[in-house]
């Protein structure tokens, strides 16, 4: 075992600057510090401790652990180790490099056979501390050594020691709550909750942390649930103490990573036992007591479980909706809604209770006009966002915003309800423009970015449908300039959020005519050429709308070469992007000049158009193409453009398409186009008025919006 030992620093009292000023005192030191260090102040780069090795003393400790010593000495050494590593990342990594994990693994195996509780607890507390380090190599090693399996095995032993079980479960919980393994928002902090990022890839507000794991077998949840009997360990342990209850429920929350795992947990019948705990602790919480708020925490954790278990799982959501607490004959919904009825509820409880109903709404178990959703949950979340401080916790604000995004995205009927208080919008603007003024303590940059991202995205969602809300938001001083500034930051999440806002606003004729200036055009042109596909896709959605004839952006986009870019998108491997490309071309050609139409045709080429008509099986793409052709064959230009296609060949192709078994919408488009072309071929007096050709705004990239919902522009 090689290790580098720290050298003791050699202090030369004449050479160190600080000590020269010992007689002169602090004033001289300040002068020196200010003059020499000021330029460096903001560029101070702290050393990294990840590669540090143990000190001599720490090396000695490791040797003692390995030596064959008496049990009481071993406990002493383990306690000393524990006291060194807890709270010190440097120590943990240094010991890790020295091979401490393997030593602890051997000790754990040895003393598991002997069932030596005191030693096992010390070892488990050490492992629990190691599992809290944000270092993927260390965590992978913990998993490789099989610590999770060993803990699960220990939990099956029948021992009369609550402390032992609490230690085991705390250790297990540390693995599940690790940011490396789990959702970065599911941490011990009660305010950090579920992330919605597994369904909303384009909205990256929630996750910028990549998974460091290359192999699924390293996920604690997979280790736990690969053997379904492992879950059977927990029910017995639920009755031991509040600590075990909290640990188990939080582990189960973390295990709800997908529908399969959720269903597995439901099958083990945790719902009834956790509901029982919930009711028990609500009743206790309601009594006057001056000593303990443990019950409040437990209520919060139980609610978190119900949110996790039904998230994006319609079957489980339906089950929870009908679950009844047999002792009082109340449904789970009634129990949880009673928490929303009470004023001055702890914020965590209010938050999770609201999120529960929102999850039921998103799985369509509850409609969005259900009072649990619109009158209780939504208003509670809005109220939480506007509270002046929530224990100064920025995390809860972010969680509230993200949950509101989740709810309101696709439920535009709730947008006006969300805006029931002007204070809500004002708060959103404050969080966006000057978040540091709201929070008393200094927040680090990562949090700053997160809250601004969530705020901006929420504004984007709110501005995506109703014209009056769009106007209110767009008219806010500094909003557009701030959004542009966010795009120009180096932070991807902020860039995406800014583009989402532009997209929401672009779904309005009025906004296209007034808000979209040259600077936004330049932003879009920049984004659409980005190497980041997510940015390109959202930018392309915005461009789909901003190329419309009445948009102030159109000329600048055309001069910026947007036509070539859109044509290139048609053959892009990403399907959404290719759809966006065709959609944008369609909108571009609406009420367009002859030159632009000719440019589009030349870019596409006649042969390719025919090829697509004959062979394309993607219905969305085909609808866009047919609409594009309709726009191109506008009355006044038909006589010039039609010969480029050979009118007979075109009509024949369309007739053949009509005979195929396309959807109603495609068939309608084909029919309209055929009728239009036929009427164009007829003498002027015989021409029938063509159907009004409405351009369509590209629907939101927010997945809830289906194509046909937003087929019409929002016109004043």
Binding residues (CB under 8 A) for another protein: these are: 6, 8-9, 11, 18-19, 21-23, 25-26, 29, 44, 46-49, 55, 79, 82-83, 86-90, 125, 128-129, 132, 167, 170, 174, 187-189, 242, 289-294, 296-297, 393-395, 441-444, 446-447
Burial of 644 (0-12, 13-18, 19+ CB in 10 A): middle
Compute the least distance from the CB of residue 74 to another protein, in Å: 16
Residue among 304, 312, 345, 337 at smallest CA distance from 192: 304
Burial of 679 (0-12, 13-18, 19+ CB in 10 A): middle
d(CA 498, CA 482): 9
CB 120 within 8 A of CB 153: no
Compute the least distance from the CB of residue 127 to another protein, in Å: 11
In order of 472, 616, 617, 623, 696, the CA distances from 662 in angstroms are: 42, 11, 9, 11, 21
Closest to another protein by CB, 46 or 648: 46
Closest to another protein by CB, 82 or 387: 82
Compute the least distance from the CB of residue 362 to another protein, in Å: 28
Closest to another protein by CB, 55 or 377: 55
Compute the least distance from the CB of residue 106 to another protein, in Å: 21
Compute the least distance from the CB of residue 90 to another protein, in Å: 4
CA 216 to chain centre: 20
Compute the least distance from the CB of residue 29 to another protein, in Å: 6
Compute the least distance from the CB of residue 71 to another protein, in Å: 17
In order of 222, 226, 261, the CA distances from 215 in angstroms are: 11, 14, 18
Residue among 517, 505, 530, 535 at smallest CA distance from 697: 505
Compute the least distance from the CB of residue 110 to another protein, in Å: 21
Beta carbons within 8 Å of 196's beta carbon, 6+ residues apart: 203, 206, 402, 405, 406
Instruction: Name the helix (H) or strand (E) containing 93.
Output: helix 89-97
Closest to another protein by CB, 265 or 390: 390
d(CA 318, CA 264): 16
Residue among 307, 279, 331 at smallest CA distance from 190: 307
Compute the least distance from the CB of residue 46 to another protein, in Å: 3
Compute the least distance from the CB of residue 422 to another protein, in Å: 18
The token pair at 179 is 């940011």
In order of 259, 324, 371, 375, the CA distances from 380 in angstroms are: 28, 24, 12, 8
Compute the least distance from the CB of residue 322 to another protein, in Å: 32
Per-residue DSSP letters for 556-576? HHHHTTHHHHHHHHTT-SSHH
Closest to another protein by CB, 55 or 541: 55
d(CA 92, CA 127): 10
Compute the least distance from the CB of residue 49 to another protein, in Å: 5
Closest to another protein by CB, 240 or 314: 240
Closest to another protein by CB, 292 or 413: 292
Closest to another protein by CB, 449 or 673: 449
Compute the least distance from the CB of residue 295 to another protein, in Å: 8
Strand partners, 202: none
Residue among 542, 454, 442, 538 at smallest CA distance from 494: 454
Closest to another protein by CB, 82 or 572: 82
Closest to another protein by CB, 47 or 573: 47
Beta carbons within 8 Å of 125's beta carbon, 6+ residues apart: 82, 86, 167, 170, 171
Closest to another protein by CB, 121 or 479: 121
Closest to another protein by CB, 50 or 618: 50
Closest to another protein by CB, 241 or 476: 241
d(CA 73, CA 83): 15
What are the start-end ranges of the H helices in 17-70? 17-20, 26-41, 56-66
Beta carbons within 8 Å of 267's beta carbon, 6+ residues apart: 228
What angle, rounded to 10 degrees, do the helices at 162-177 and 136-144 form?
Answer: 130
């Amino acid at each position: 075992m090689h290790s580098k030992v720290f050298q003791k620093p050699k202090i030369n009292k004449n050479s160190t600057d600080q000590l020269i000023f010992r007689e002169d005192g602090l004033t001289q030191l300040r002068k020196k510090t200010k003059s020499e260090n000021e330029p460096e102040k903001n560029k101070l780069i702290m050393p990294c401790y990840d590669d540090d090795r143990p000190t001599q003393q720490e090396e000695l400790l490791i040797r003692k652990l390995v030596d064959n010593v008496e049990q009481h000495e071993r406990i002493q050494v383990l306690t000393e180790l524990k006291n060194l590593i807890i709270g010190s990342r440097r120590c943990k990594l240094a010991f890790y490099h020295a091979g401490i994990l393997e030593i602890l693994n051997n000790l754990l195996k040895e003393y598991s056979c002997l069932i030596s509780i005191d030693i096992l607890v010390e070892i488990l507390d050490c492992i629990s501390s190691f599992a809290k380090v944000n270092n993927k190599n260390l965590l992978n090693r913990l998993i490789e050594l099989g610590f999770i399996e060993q803990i699960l095995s220990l939990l099956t032993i029948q021992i009369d020691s609550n402390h032992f079980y609490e230690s085991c479960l705390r250790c297990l919980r540390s693995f599940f709550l690790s940011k490396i393994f789990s959702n970065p928002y599911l941490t011990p902090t009660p305010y950090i909750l579920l992330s919605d990022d597994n369904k909303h890839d384009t909205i990256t507000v929630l996750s910028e942390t990549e998974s460091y794991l290359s192999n699924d077998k390293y996920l604690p949840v997979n280790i736990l649930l690969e053997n379904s009997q492992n879950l059977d360990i927990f029910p017995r342990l639920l009755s031991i103490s509040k600590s075990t209850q909290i640990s188990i429920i939080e582990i189960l929350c973390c295990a709800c990573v997908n529908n399969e795992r959720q269903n597995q947990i439901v099958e083990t019948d945790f719902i009834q036992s956790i509901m029982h705990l919930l009711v028990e602790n609500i009743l206790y919480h309601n009594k006057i007591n001056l000593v303990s708020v443990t019950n409040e925490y437990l209520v919060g954790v139980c609610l978190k479980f119900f949110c996790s278990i039904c998230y994006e799982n319609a079957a489980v959501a339906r089950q929870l909706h009908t679950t009844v607490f047999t002792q009082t004959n109340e449904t789970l919904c009634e129990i949880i809604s009673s928490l929303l009825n009470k004023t001055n509820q702890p914020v965590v409880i209010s938050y999770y209770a609201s999120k529960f109903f929102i999850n039921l709404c998103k799985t369509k178990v509850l409609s969005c006009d259900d009072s649990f959703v619109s009158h209780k949950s939504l208003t509670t979340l809005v109220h939480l966002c506007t509270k002046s401080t929530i224990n100064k916790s920025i995390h809860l604000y972010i969680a509230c915003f993200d949950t509101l995004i989740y709810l309101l995205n696709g439920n535009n009927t709730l947008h006006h309800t969300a805006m029931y208080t002007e204070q809500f919008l004002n708060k959103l603007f404050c969080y966006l423009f000057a978040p540091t003024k709201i929070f008393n303590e200094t927040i680090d940059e990562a949090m700053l970015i997160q809250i601004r991202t969530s705020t901006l995205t929420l504004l984007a969602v709110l501005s995506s449908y109703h014209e009056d809300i769009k106007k209110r938001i767009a008219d806010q001083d500094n909003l557009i300039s701030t959004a542009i500034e966010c795009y120009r930051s180096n932070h991807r999440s902020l860039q995406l959020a800014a583009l989402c806002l532009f997209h929401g606003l672009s779904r309005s004729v009025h906004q296209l005519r007034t808000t979209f200036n040259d600077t936004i055009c330049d932003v879009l042109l920049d984004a659409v050429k980005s190497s980041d596909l997510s940015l390109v896709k959202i930018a392309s959605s915005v461009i789909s709308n901003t190329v419309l004839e009445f948009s102030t952006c159109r000329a600048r986009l055309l001069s910026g070469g947007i036509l070539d870019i859109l044509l290139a998108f048609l053959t892009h491997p990403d399907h959404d992007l290719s759809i966006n490309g065709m959609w944008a071309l369609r909108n571009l050609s609406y009420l367009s000049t002859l030159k632009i139409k000719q440019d589009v045709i030349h870019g596409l080429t006649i042969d390719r158009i025919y090829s697509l008509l004959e062979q394309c099986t993607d219905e969305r793409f085909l609808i866009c193409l047919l609409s594009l052709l309709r726009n191109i064959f506008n009355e006044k230009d038909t006589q010039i453009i039609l010969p480029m296609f050979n009118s007979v060949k075109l009509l024949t192709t369309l007739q053949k398409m009509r005979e195929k078994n396309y959807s109603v919408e495609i068939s309608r488009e084909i029919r309209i186009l055929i009728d239009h072309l036929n009427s164009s071929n007829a003498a002027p007096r015989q021409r029938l008025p063509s159907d009004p050709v409405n351009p369509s705004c590209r629907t939101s990239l927010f997945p809830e919006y289906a194509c046909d919902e937003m087929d019409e522009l929002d016109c004043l």
